[in-house]
A = this chain, B = another copy of it.
Amino acid sequence: MSLVVCLLCIMLVPLAAAGLALIHQGLGRSRSAAHAMLGTLCALAISAIFFVLFGSAWAGVAGGPVHSFAAGGFHWDWLGAGAFFGHGVSVDGSDPAGLGRSLTLCLEMFAAGLAAMIPLSAGSDRWRIGPICISSALLAGFIFPLFAHWVWGGGWLAQLGTTFGLAGFFDAGGAGVVQVVGGLMALAVAWIAGPRKGKYSDDGVAAAIPGHNIVLVLFGCLLALVGWIGLDSASSILFGGAGVEQIPGVVVNAMMSASGGALAAVMVTRARYRKPDASLSANGWIAGLVAGSAACGMVTPVAALDTGMIAGLLVTYMIEAFELQLRVDDPGGAVSVHAGAGLWGLIAVGLFGHFADGTRGNHMLAQLVGIAALLGFMLPLIYGVNLLLNRFEPYRVDGNGDWQGMDIRELGAGAYPEFVVHADEFVPR
């Protein structure tokens, strides 16, 4: 029964992608809006294909065949060894026991797509579509499956409990597996592509470049909520051991986290700038969903609300720090919203989670090991892969391409050919 619920929840997950796509393009400029959407479509398509053909084999399933090695007296399960070319999916119904395996592949296919589209927001208005495609293939074909195996596929992070007597690293909804991995990718892209022209003046003042369609950004938040409800519910069942009777709580918690995140951002921006900021409030909403997804079925609604509020608070300051102190131009705030709030969500599991077994200290330690793996291993891997790729296929559009707009430069046509847009208020440099 719970697998049937899982199946139907998976069908809602693409709505999270649809919502994020609207947010990403809306926070970018109108001259690059079609490019943002087509880039998203390509990233989703390529990541689905590469995940199904290759990545799913390496992501594996808990209890399935694995690659492992022995070191330090322990057995390290580091990569799945499933079937390539989508043979993990049962299509003729001859293998009813394969339902769990099929569902895992299906859910992870969409999850890989979500991870792959996150960096597009950080690379808005300048990241070329060629490297978007190759980078998505690498992410969904290998990078995402690697970490997904460690956590969702029964790999070494999931086995911290049995190996070291700690507790298993817990990330039911993918705050780490999907959001932090995607967010670190976004950080690499923003670093490599560099800031947009006109973002920073010669004397170092950052210009505010407002999003071009806030209505679609905020609408995207509502749509993403439904997708996240599907994602959290399905992965709670598959990877968090939740039963059907816990799923209403997952739904309530998703709404609590999103609400807390948005309201915290509204309150902080209102307190600081006297007026609430719509874009940051949207980011707070998504940050709440991101942070809340780690522990979704394991906490009370009040804890989910707290998780979301802290995420919204954190993200508001983090976006400013990246923009002003670190001088990383991340138009959609993807690094803060996905990596930042995702990391906080992993900690929140340790703080708020209700676990049947293991002490809170052990759980917290396991979460910190997982975070160390993300920052100590995945971030260098991700940065290295993107840096290498950038040498062969330059990430950033050349010349004044970002000034001209990615739509004209890369697609040859604008998104809104009939609408009159303002002459540019940002002087090209």
Q: Residues of A at under 8 Å CB distance from B?
A: 1, 4-5, 7-12, 14-15, 17-18, 21-22, 25, 29-30, 33-34, 37-38, 40-42, 44-46, 48-49, 52-53, 85-87, 89-93, 95-96, 98-99, 102-103, 105-106, 109-110, 129, 210-216, 218-219, 221-223, 225-226, 229-230, 233, 242-249, 251-253, 255-256, 258-260, 262-263, 266, 273-278, 281-282, 285, 297-302, 305, 354, 356, 410-422
B residues in contact with A247, CB < 8 Å? 7
On whether the beta carbons of A354 and B29 are closer than 8 Å, the reply is no
CB–CB A37/B218 < 8 A: yes
Q: Is the CB of B412 within 8 A of A245?
A: no
Residues of B near A99 (CB, < 8 A) are 244-245, 248
- B contact residues around A260 at 8 Å (CB): 45, 49
Q: What would be 9 A-B contacts, judged by CB atoms less than 8 Å apart?
A: A38-B218, A42-B262, A52-B301, A85-B302, A91-B246, A109-B252, A212-B417, A214-B414, A420-B421
Residues of B close to A93: CB separation below 8 A: 242-243, 245-246
* Interface pair B417/A419, CB less than 8 Å apart: no
Q: How far is the CA of A99 from the CA of B249 in the complex (A)?
A: 10
Chain B residues whose C-beta falls within 8 Å of the C-beta of A263 in the assembled complex: 42, 45-46, 49
Q: Which B residues are CB-close (under 8 A) to A44?
A: 222, 259
Output the least CB separation between A303 and chain B (Å). Answer: 9
A90 CB contact (under 8 Å) in B245, B276, B299: B245
Q: Cα distance A49–B308 when bound, in Å?
A: 12
Query: Contact at A90–B218, with CB atoms within 8 Å?
Result: no
* Shortest distance from the beta carbon of A177 to any chain B beta carbon, whole Å: 19
Measured in the bound complex, the distance between the Cα atoms of B245 and A98 in whole Å is 8
CB–CB B422/A421 < 8 A: no
Q: With A and B bound together, what is the CA distance between A9 and B7 in angstroms?
A: 10
A87 partner residues in chain B, CB cutoff 8 A: 300
Whether A420 and B417, one on each chain, are in contact in the complex, defined by CB atoms closer than 8 angstroms, is no
Q: Is there contact, CB below 8 Å, between A37 and B215?
A: yes
Chain B residue nearest in CB terms to A259:
B45
Name 17 extra pairs, CB < 8 A, besides A37-B219, A40-B222. Answer: A1-B4, A4-B244, A18-B219, A21-B218, A25-B215, A86-B302, A89-B248, A89-B252, A91-B253, A102-B245, A105-B252, A211-B417, A212-B417, A212-B419, A214-B414, A277-B411, A419-B419
- Name A421's contact: one of B89, B297, B411, B419 (CB within 8 Å): B419
Contacting residue for A96 out of B29, B41, B95, B245, CB 8 A: B245
Residues of B within 8 A of A29 (CB): 418
List residues of chain B with CB within 8 A of the CB of A422. Answer: 417-420
Name the one of B11, B248, B255, B411 contacting A275, with C-beta atoms under 8 angstroms. Answer: B411
B297 engages A249 (CB within 8 Å)? no
Query: Would you call B41 and A218 a contact (CB within 8 A)?
Result: yes
Contacts of A15 in B (CB 8 A): 223, 226
With A259-B48, A278-B413, A411-B277 as known contacts, state yes or no: A34 contacts B248, CB within 8 Å: no
Whether the pair B5, A256 counts as a contact (CB closer than 8 A) is: no
The 10 tightest CB contacts between A and B, nearest first, are: A86-B301, A45-B259, A102-B248, A37-B218, A18-B222, A91-B249, A34-B214, A275-B412, A420-B420, A106-B248
Most central of A210, A259, A419 by chain B CB within 10 Å: A259
The residues of B that contact A17 with a CB separation of less than 8 Å are 222
Are A8 and B10 in touch, CB under 8 angstroms? no
With the chains together, A89 CA to B222 CA distance in Å? 23
Contact B8 A9 (CB under 8 A): yes
- Closest CB-CB distance, A139 to chain B, in whole Å? 15
Which residues of B lie under 8 Å from residue A274 when comparing CB positions? 412
Q: Is the CB of A419 within 8 A of B30?
A: yes
